[in-house]
Structure 1
Amino acid sequence: MGHQMEEFCTVENFLLLHCNTDLKGFKMAVWIQAQQLQGDALHQMQSLYGQHFPIEVRHYLSQWIEGQLWDAIDLENPQEEFKAKRLLDSLIQELQNKAEHQVGEDGFLLKIKLGHYANQLKSTYDRCPMELVRCIKHILYTEQRLVREATNSSSPVGGIMDSMSQKYQQINQAFEELRLLTQDTENDLRKLQHNQEYFIIQYQESLRIQAQLTSLATLPPADRQLREPALLSKRATVEAWLTREANTLQKYRLDLAEKHQKTLQLLRKQQTIILDDELIQWKRRQQLAGNGGPPEGGLDILQSWCEKLAETIWQNRQQIRRAEHLRQQLPIPGPIEELLNELNSTITDIISALVTSTFIIEKQPPQVLKTQTKFAATVRLLVGGKLNVHMNPPQVKATIISEQQAKALLKNENTRNDSSGEILNNNCVMEYHQTTGTLSAHFRNMSLKRIKRSDRRGAESVTEEKFTILFESQFSVGSNELVFQVKTLSLPVVVIVHGSQDNNATATVLWDNAFAEPGRVPFLVPDKVLWPQLCDAINMKYKAEVQSNRCLSEENLVFLAQKAFSSSSNNPDDYRSMTMTWSQFNRESLPGRNFTFWQWFDGVMELTKKHLKPHWNDGAILGFVNKQQAQDMLMSKPNGTFLLRFSDSEIGGITIAWVAENPNKAGERMVWNLMPYTTKDFSIRSLADRISDLNHLLFLYPDRPKDEVFSKYYTPPLCKQSYVCTGRFHFWDLTFQCLLLKESELLVNLCFACACFSSKAKAVDGYVKPQIKQVVPEFATGNPDPTSGNPTYMDQGASPAPVSHPHAYGIYPPMSDSMLDADGDFDLDDTMDVARHVEELLRRPVEGQWGGQQS
């Protein structure tokens, strides 16, 4: 079952990672699949290549070609030619590099051929690099279509990739249709303008004829009768033509308006797909990235789509304005005025929605935000370059507001002067980056000086209160034709004033990121979720924090369910329909404990991330096993078999459980549990070294020799550590570390320092290097008995001290309160007495070990 879960995680991660990166993962498989085509599909694929683009180039540079963002280049925009030129230069450089690495007889011929192709492509496309982009885009799209038609894959991954490829292709096809429609209306508009100009000329001719007829009144009757019939006939002809042409112009205007209506309908549909689907999905991926999901790739291609929208919208807006100008220049009675007003209103709404929606936060501020701590954020206007906003760079202001203020803001209620705190360095000017074509403002040194909290509800704590950073700006486009006020809200932020609040604040953020619904009222989240949903969230978080490819297995998740629901069922199906509330997650303590489910789980993550990551990745740590399960697993194994599991009773602790003989009852075996190690223990001596020290530990469960698993992590003997400096034992460094520990740990670790001088140590300047070594008194031995597999106890003249609770933590005696003061802290004077005694011991010469004077 565990293997199935890991397999599922691999597929899930593949989907999450590759579905969000512009089909890069899908494209990289295209050439491999294209080589399997047969029959007519193979002939179609081969026909794509020739002198203009050799198939050998496609073959040897397939991975590089499929990794480039060809779709991000707008073929209709001459300003993007520099991007195409850069891709051409990179392609030629890749070919030349490939050629240089060819060796051998066959490699020599290939080297010549690839070099020839590099020169050929440079000479073909150097003056028209956009044609190279057009060529490769056509090749890739056709190959994808042929592969899709040939395979018709029914697998989940293949189906999703095919669906995405088809969706992206539909978007690009819609842009091509919009381009053709816009070009068509541009041609019609020019034709209308030409016809209207000719109409005006003929109208002026009719006025001239009328003026001539009027002037006939001053002529003698004979002359008037001679000239009047011809002028009247000519006037009648011109007026008939003007009437007919006026109707034609009116029809042209109505036809043009109808075409613009069709274009705007398609524009609105395309914009809805990009803004309400693709951009919202990107924002959702960004939110999940806050929980450890894959990076939110795809913003560059989103920008390219938004820029195409902006360009097309602006072109149509200008056409509608020109049509309105023509109408004003030659008013003709009819419904055209109302139609043009409607079109102008619609196009303004479309561009307003585009600009306000594409003002986004590229890099979110930290969601757990500590006061008086520097933080950064980046906002970006996806259409800023196309609309030339950077010609008059706008300024962006950042303000922190509460959840209630965010709700009021979205309802367009007046909150302009309201804020919930003071942010230093909260103004930044947007900058245009020519190489990337992005317009963004990068806040590098913001700091939250103070925070104003609202009255909390019921059991809600300060770490459950949500804020958000409001970014706002104002700018104009089109020579101040349109003025925009844009605003965007960050993901929810929890403000803390001390590091001890980080754990609970992270829980609030994780729950919000995992279960927020798109378009929600800020910042509503469900109070309870299905257990499998929570498993997905904590699995994602765990993998990201530990930076591991190893998922939580189904057995791990069953263990967590047992802990969360105080259940004993081992059947994962029993938990699939169960729900977990926020209170159960991080408000109510676990039964018999003083910490919540999340606090325990977060402690495990922190410990693993800081000290146990390689062992977790190696599969050496079972971790999510309770004491009874560990006992059942070990009792069927030989003596000296051990496993590592996370402590049930302590946050961020891991213990070693092993099976050995019961020293108090001959012939009886029992499972021992070592006092849990925590971060402070591993900051002194690593887990691998501690396991190496304990000779009674022989096999990692189920049957792996411990050195086979851990030896690569052992610290080499006599390695310089923080306790050793040019051969001197820094006793007070160790003493300071020990002051942080419990009394029992203090004595044991001081024992390490006193008892473990190496007989092979060499004196340096009259000093020797001591080493720390872990000792468990009941199992203290130099070597295990290899014949019996059982530990041999050190001969001390007596049996090991009895253990009152052999299955509980505490093979060490319970902590004495004699060294604690009234507040529960160590009494420094008493501790120093112990320290001075040990120091005296260290200063005494040890006979027979080494020569030289000790000090």
Structure 2
Amino acid sequence: MAQWQEVQGLANPYLEQVHQLYASAALPMAVRQCLAAWIEDQDWRQAAEPLSSHARVLFHSLLALLSDRLGSPGLGDEDFMLKHNLRKARRDLQAEFEERPEQLANLVDNLLQDERRILRLGQAVGQGGGTVAPSTPPVSDRQQQIQQRLAEFRSALQEVKHTFRHLEEHQDSFDFFYKLHYQPGEDRTNDPHYAQQVQALQAKLQMLDRQRREVLAQLQQLLGRSETLRDFLQQELEAWQERQQRSCLGAPADTSLRPLEAWFTELGQGLFQLLQLLQALEDLRQKVTYKRDPLKAETPLLEQRLRELLSYLLRSAFVVEQQPCMASAGRRPLVLRTGSKFSARARLLVRLHDRSHRMEAKIHIDRDPPKIKGFRKFNILTSSSKTLLAGDNPQEGLVCDFQYLTLKEQKDSRTGKGSKGTSEGPLVVTEELHLITFTLAYAYHGLELELETSTLPFVIISNNNQLSSAWASILWLNMLSSDPRKEQQFFSKPPAAPWPLLAEVLSWQFQSVAERGLSQQHLLMLGKKLFGSKPSPESTLAWHKFSKEGSSVFSFWAWLDAILGLLQEHLKQLWKAGLILGFVSRKQEQRLLRSCRAGTFLIRFSESVLGGVTCTWVEHPEGGPPVFQAVDPYTAADLAHLALPDIIRDYQMLAEENVPENPLRFLYPGTARDEAFGPYYSRRQEGDLLEQQKYLKQRLIHVSSR
């Protein structure tokens, strides 16, 4: 099914996310709907690369298709509004992207990625039962509190502006009255009206003093509200960072920054307006002041407090939106290979900046490296700085998007060579953690700051055969560390993992690879394999038992990761449909099949062959106990030539009389083989018997002998 069709079938909460996605995008939903199939068939990521001519080709193709659609007789009078929207969209897209079609390619590529993210979330929630625990948090009370407090903040800000305008008017009146009736140096003691004028002037001064104190009190209260709101936003940001961390491990989590960006921006706008208000108060004080003027003592303190609040807000608002990830890594970020391209992106959630100021973003790798013997050093070969231009589309926000980055290890000055993937220190390469730091020179309304944020720690490898071990390190670190940015020496003494937490993370791996997590029965078998018996909630597993120790051939993680690779490449649909029982011990499979009719089979993963899957079936000979048969495990090399459903359909067992038969009749617990696997059989091309054939038709089948 096409992606756009699947999106339209989502539940309302996820459809609302799609509507929000396109509400703030330069590509209207009407265009997405009209050209859905064509849009999904194009390679927008390749078109978005610098100096790519493909972007302009796609841009003009899109405009031409819209023109054809507008002239199509299929759009009748009842589609008048759709015609209007498409015509406007075509005009707007041409005006916006005529000179920069690669930005349109990047926009569409990001929209398609966001759609897939929302689709995965919606489908994961719809399927339920596969995951150990729900990972997408419900709408929280804190989010409602933020909305409510922002509304109160807006109202209070309007009140203080209103009070300030009254103060301005009264000060102008006082100033005029003072200059009109009070002439210093003149002797007006005989003037009968002078005493009344002085008394009136004194009354106006007292009123001016009260209004100044009222404005200052409102500002004090508003700053208090702002600090509380800032704390709520900080908590929500920390929750988002936790979701992002879990998402990096494969958990189905919503990592959209749009709500936070809107909240941070609104609070930032309000605080900068307060800063301007304080500066206006200082202007009033310069024009009129007096003894015990409250502005003289309190305004500097309020401004200092406000600037500290703004600085804190802006520094918190600079976040890593996309963790370092290679384009070929799929669902496994934070593992980088030297010489391979990767990307990372930071975002400033407060969408306010001075367009006359050159806002430069830079990236640094291992800016403050840990003091570990043999710790490798790397250079970023491509550009490590980027200027955010004033003409950037405001809908895209303030983004520092670094793409097509590559790393190269620094040569050892003593040998002139790099370490070639080995570490001289106590840590192996796949346990050595590195960081990228973003810095941003920010300026707005006289406030200048250098903002800084860091990625999660990542592992740098030089060979693909290190990828599995590196991913194990990323899992262990982010599973057990709440603030991994401060733990580059984490693997000097890695802590043990509680079994309930490890079980959840293992389930996420299957959820992200094959869209179905692990059941409690799966986890029970894995727990017994790790601990030797049924684990308890208090059971913990040491790092070396997870990633290094195991059978004489491979570790537990190497065995499990090979199964994940097999699922991703060859068995995804079967696993997702629940046709593979998967993790079943030999003893358990016999218990399950013993009471089933002859020919009942199940599919499980091999425990002795790395990345292997096998079928076990039961036979009931006359006058004897049940007999259990299992075929040699199929590996990725086998399944690359013949898909598992076709193997099951055509599998033959030679009896004593050399008569072939298929012993696989019913999928456990009792579903007919063709009913279960029929939708996944490859289509056979049957030849015409009357047509003269040069060769006889042939097909591959698997045959076993008793």
Q: Establish whether TM, by shorter chain, passes 0.5.
A: yes
1:291 CA displacement: 1.5
Structure-2 residue corresponding to 1:103: none
Determine whether 1:562 maps to 2:528. yes
2:432 aligns with 465
Report the CA distance shift for 1:200/1:682 in structure 2 as closer, same or farther (over 3 A).
same
- Asked if the contact 1:761–1:768 (Cα under 8 Å) also holds between the matched residues in 2, the reply is no
Residue 182 (structure 1) shift: 1.5
Alignment equivalent of 1:584, drawn from 545, 548, 553 = 545
| Residue of structure 1 aligned with 2:206, choices 224, 237, 247 | 247
Shift of 1:456: 6.7
Match of 1:538 among 506, 527, 543: 506
What is aligned with 1:771? 699
Residues 403 and 466, structure 1, Cα contact 8 Å, conserved in 2: no
Q: Distance in 1 between matches of 2:29 and 2:80?
A: 17
Alpha-carbon offset, residue 635 of structure 1? 3.7
User: Residue 558 and residue 302 in structure 1: after superposition, are their counterparts in 2 closer, same or farther (change >3 A)?
Assistant: same
- Provide the secondary structure at the position in 1 that maps to 2:320: strand
* Alpha-carbon distance between aligned partners in 2 of 1:501 and 1:70, rounded to the nearest angstrom: 38
Looking at structure 1, the residues matched to 269 and 277 of structure 2 have their Cα atoms a distance apart, in angstroms, of 12
Equivalent of 2:634 in 677, 690, 700: 677
What's 1:528 paired with? 496
1:467 partner SS: coil
1:304 counterpart = 2:265: no
8 Å CA contact 2:565, 2:611 repeated in 1 = yes
* Alpha carbons 1:402, 1:419 under 8 Å: kept: no
Contact 2:379 2:409 (C-alpha < 8 Å) held by counterparts: yes
**Secondary structure in 2 matching 1:436:** helix
Please list the CA deviations of residues 95-139 of structure 1 after superposition, one character each: whole Å capped at 9, or x if unmatched: xxxxxxxxxxxxxxxxx99999xx9xxxxxxxxxxxxxxxxxxxx
Q: What is residue 422 of structure 1 aligned with on the other side?
A: 380
Partner of 1:648: 607
Distance 1:201 1:717, change over 3 A: closer
Give 1:268 deviation, angstroms: 1.1
Superposed displacement of residue 435, structure 1: 6.1
Amino acid at match of 2:384: N
Cross-structure match for 1:551: 517
Shift of 1:430: 2.3
Q: Report if aligned partners of 1:527, 1:582 keep a CA contact under 8 Å in 2.
A: yes
Deviation, structure 1 residue 234:
4.3
The alpha carbon displacement at 1:400 in A equals 1.6
Tell me the distance in 2 between the aligned counterparts of 1:424 and 1:229. 83
- Contact kept in structure 1, 2:378 and 2:408, CA below 8 Å: no
When residues 229 and 510 of structure 1 are mapped into structure 2, their CA distance, relative to the original with a 3 A threshold, is closer
Residue of structure 1 in register with 2:456 after alignment? 491
Structure 1 residues 406, 309: CA separation in 2 closer, same or farther (over 3 Å shift)? farther
Residue 259 of structure 2 aligns with an amino acid whose one-letter code is I
**Are residues 1:508 and 2:436 paired?**
no
1:383 is displaced (CA, Å) by 1.7
AA aligned to 2:229 is: Q
Question: CA 1:471–1:202 in 2, change beyond 3 Å: closer, same or farther?
Answer: same
Residues 457 and 484, structure 2, Cα contact 8 Å, conserved in 1: no
Partner deviation per Cα, 1:294-322 (whole Å, 9 max, x = no partner): 35344112111111111110111111111
Secondary structure of residue in 1 paired with 2:344: strand
Residue aligned with 2:703, SS: coil
Q: In the alignment, residue 643 of structure 1 is paired with which amino acid?
A: L
Greater RCO structure (CA 8 Å; 6+ sep): 2
TM-score, length-scaled by structure 1: 0.60
- The equivalent of 1:382 in structure 2 is 349
The letter of the residue matching 1:398 is: I
- The 1-side partners of 2:639 and 2:397 are apart by 46
Query: Whole-Å Cα distance in 2 between the matches of residues 450 and 191 of structure 1?
Result: 65
Is residue 262 from structure 1 mapped to residue 228 from structure 2 by the alignment? no
Give aligned-pair identity as a percent: 27
Amino acid at match of 1:257: L
After superposition, the Cα gap between the structure-2 partners of 1:87 and 1:435, relative to the gap in structure 1 and judged at 3 Å, is farther
Contact 2:341 2:404 in 1 (8 A): yes
Coordinate RMSD, CA, aligned? 4.0
Q: Secondary structure at the match of 2:486?
A: coil
- Please tell me whether residue 278 in structure 1 is matched to residue 236 in structure 2: yes
Aligned to 1:329: 287
Find the aligned partners of 1:316 and 1:89 in 2 and give their Cα distance. Answer: 42
Instruction: Give the letter aligned to residue 239 of structure 2.
Output: Q
Distance 1:706 1:88, change over 3 A: closer
Match of 2:589 in 1: 630
1:318 aligns with 2:276: yes
Q: Distance in 1 between matches of 2:539 and 2:570?
A: 34
Displacement, 1:422?
Answer: 2.7
Q: Secondary structure at the match of 2:437?
A: strand
> Partners of 2:31 and 2:562 in 1: how far apart?
51
Residues 380, 438 of structure 1: 8 Å contact kept: yes
* Number of residue-to-residue matches in the alignment: 569
Would the alpha carbon gap of residues 716 and 113 (structure 1) be closer, same or farther in structure 2, given more than 3 Å must change? closer
Residues 129-165 of structure 1 deviation map (CA, whole Å, 9 limit, x = unaligned): xxxxxxxxxxxxxxxxxxxxxxxxxxx99xx85x63x
Q: Report if the CA contact (8 A) 1:718-1:771 is conserved.
A: no
Q: Aligned ranges for residues 701-720 of structure 1 at < 5 Å?
A: 701-717=668-684
Q: Taking structure 1 as reference, are residues 392 and 186 closer, same or farther at Cα in structure 2, changes over 3 Å only? A: same
Deviation sequence 1:575-596 (CA, Å, 0-9, x none): 2221122222213x22x43322
Take 2:546 and 2:299, find their aligned partners in 1: how far apart are those partners? 58
Q: 1:648 to 1:301 in 2, by over 3 A?
A: same
The residue number in structure 1 matching 2:303 is: 344
The secondary structure found in structure 2 opposite 1:192 is: helix
- Evaluate the alpha carbon distance shift between residue 760 and residue 580 of structure 1 in structure 2; reply closer, same or farther with a 3 A threshold: farther
Return the offset for 1:238.
3.6
Provide the residue aligned with 2:70 in structure 1.
Answer: none
3-state SS in 2 of match to 1:365: strand
Counterpart position of 2:56: none
Instruction: For 1:442 and 1:70, locate their aligned partners in 2 and report how far apart those are by CA, in whole Å.
Output: 19
1:200 aligns with 2:175: yes
For the pair 1:517 / 2:476, whether they are aligned, the reply is: no
Mapped partners of 1:619, 1:294: distance in 2: 19
Structure 2: gaps (5+ residues): 1-9, 33-76, 85-132, 326-333, 411-417, 653-661
Aligned match of 1:293: 251
- Which residue of structure 2 aligns with residue 368 of structure 1? 335
1:185 maps to 2:157: no
Counterpart for residue 115 of structure 2:
none
- Decide whether the 8 Å contact of 1:394 with 1:473 is kept in 2: yes
Provide structure 1 residue ranges, at least 5 long, that are not aligned to the other structure: 1-23, 29-62, 74-81, 91-111, 120-155, 214-227, 408-417, 720-757, 779-855
Report the Cα distance in structure 1 between the residues aligned to 2:377 and 2:211, rounded to whole angstroms: 55
8 Å CA contact retained: 1:182, 1:312: yes
* C-alpha deviation, 1:89, in angstroms: 13
Task: Report if aligned partners of 2:574, 2:580 keep a CA contact under 8 Å in 1.
Answer: yes
TM-score (norm 2): 0.72
Say if 2:357 is the partner of 1:357. Answer: no
- Quick one: structure 1 residues 181 and 635, their matched pair in 2 at CA, closer, same or farther if it must change by over 3 Å? closer
User: Per the alignment, do residues 767 and 520 of structure 1 end up closer, same or farther by CA in structure 2, a change over 3 Å counting?
Assistant: closer
